[in-house]
A and B are shown apart, each in its own frame.
Chain A
Amino acid sequence: MRRFKLEIVQLKPILGMVNENFERILGEIDDGIKLGADLICFPDTALSGWELSSLLKEVLIEKDSEKWEVLKSRSKRISIVIGFLEREKDNYFKSVSYLEDGKVLYIHKRLFTDHESIPEDNKEFHTKFGNVMLLTYADLTDPRTVFKSKEHIDMIIVPSAVYAEGMDELGENISSVEKFKLLCKALSIRFHSIVIAVNRVGFEDGYGFFGASSVMNSEGRVIYSLQKFSQARAILHIDLDSRSFKAEPL
């Protein structure tokens, strides 16, 4: 399936309220199905919120939980990219997953420590749309990312939770906004691949997640982007062979 409808959902999760977020996301998935989307992508931490501190146990989704079964079942009708928090023994992982045809096709894990999440090495995987690489913002600055994979990559999906920081002395620029765009562009050019970067919005304890989710063509040119700081969604028709894009009005 080289021609498909992509939906990106730039949302603001409720911090630490996994059940409420899950219901919201199910609603978005069902809307996506109604709109005829083939693939729906959510931002990183969409199920949990980002500034978790002592809330890890509150937002955990166990592998055998009913929530996974519901998501797997929905993925028979629409492929899903979603981030979640999981636990193995005493370690917590902020992970992002790709679900398709009733199965979890891939999970990209990041070991969650007090202040950061450390990405584990990951590989591209095959989906019904083509070869996909699933990366998060932390991977974009990891040198292992640019050296990996000799395979052709059709799509790089970057579920993100990137916040504004790095104001210069004169207060004219916020470096993280530009950095996020440049890193995605570099990735697109490096792999000659489409990049789908879905960044969340909302404020958590002062961290302002700026959104500006975008889809880039394989030359790193932004084809479509959502506005900053507002919840929004978009549907795009993508043809991987002709590398053409067309946004569908919502």
Chain B
Amino acid sequence: MESVKEILINFISDEVRKFGFKKGIIGLSGGVDSAVSAYLTVEALGVENVVGVMMPYRASNPTSLEDAKLVAKNLGIKTILIDISPMVEAYSEMKEKGVDRIRRGNFMARIRMAVLYDISCKEKGLVVGTGNKTETLLGYTTLYGDSACAINPLGDLYKTQVWRLAKSLGVPKRIIEKPPSADLWAGQTDEGELGVNYILADKVLYSLFELNLTPEELILRGYEADIVYKIVDTIRKTQYKRVEPIIAKVSTATVGKELSFPRDWGT
């Protein structure tokens, strides 16, 4: 993974510094994605320029916080610990018994985003994202929640590639090997919610997009039709999460259409 590592480290260094920032702010969940982002950002910006923000909720699995602390300790980065429970529960709707766990989970993800962006302002740093390509394509993110960031170094790596990168960076084994979870409620796992394991999902996604095969060609190669079509359908249904809010066109030059300026303009 040396070439990929080199690209991602240079990407973080270039994109943070060219806007006049020095620091990267990372939400450390205790999972492998945020661990990899943190390891890369330390290599890119230096240990003194990385802040790990840990934001447990009262119902979070305690091992998530322990693993986040382990990453921070191994790297020697500054950490900030913010319990988001009072913020989540200050919103009276979240106090109601039986509130839908998806609503609560989304709200928690957006509170964490708000905290991260506030700390990025205080620390004068950029929020370094942790989302990978598999969860982005499957829409397994909260819009304006965990997907919100200034730069996203892992966004073009499938989950199984993130695992390989984690090994080569020296991320602790227990973090790489535990079942991936957004930890928004007790017992939640990514693979349980997605209904497909990451190894299989990545094989299908890689074949569809990197090898440019059709779903029918995948089925001919032995993949289960139900799984392949479920994945294709999920990608289509979650497309709205991967684009900017849609604008009704009425003028000649519309932002995002005819007016499409690059993000890095002037840098």
Contact = CB atoms under 8 A, between A and B. Distances in A.
Interface stretch (A91-99, A144-152, A166-174): A166-174
Contact of A55 (B11, B15, B265, B267): B265
Interface string A7-30: 000000011110000000000000
Given A171-B164, A228-B6, A203 B14 contact: yes
Contact of A54 (B4, B161, B260): B260
B266 interface: yes
Nearest to B164: A171
Contacts of B11: 203, 206, 208
A61 interface: no
A212 to B, nearest CB: 11
A177 interface: yes
Interface string B101-132: 00000000000000000000000000000000
Contact of B262 (A52, A177, A228): A52
Interface string A159-199: 00000100101111110010000000000000000000000
Which of B3, B4, B11, B260 has the largest number of chain A CB atoms within 10 A? B3
A202 B261 CA distance: 18
B165 interface: yes
Interface residues of A, number: 28
B157 interface: yes
A239 interface: no
B43 to A, nearest CB: 13
A15 B265 contact: yes
B44 to A, nearest CB: 11
A171 B15 contact: no
A16 B7 contact: no
A204 interface: yes
A167 B7 CA distance: 11
A65 interface: no
Given A169-B206, A170-B164, A204 B264 contact: yes
Contact of A208 (B1, B10, B165, B265): B10
Contacts of B3: 164, 167, 172-174, 177
Nearest to A50: B262
Given A54-B259, A167-B3, 18 more contacts: A14-B267, A15-B266, A51-B262, A52-B262, A55-B261, A164-B3, A167-B4, A167-B161, A170-B164, A171-B4, A171-B161, A172-B3, A177-B3, A202-B14, A204-B262, A206-B11, A208-B14, A229-B6
20 contacts: A14-B267, A15-B265, A15-B267, A51-B262, A53-B262, A54-B259, A54-B261, A167-B156, A167-B161, A170-B164, A171-B1, A171-B4, A171-B157, A171-B165, A203-B10, A203-B11, A203-B14, A206-B11, A208-B7, A228-B6
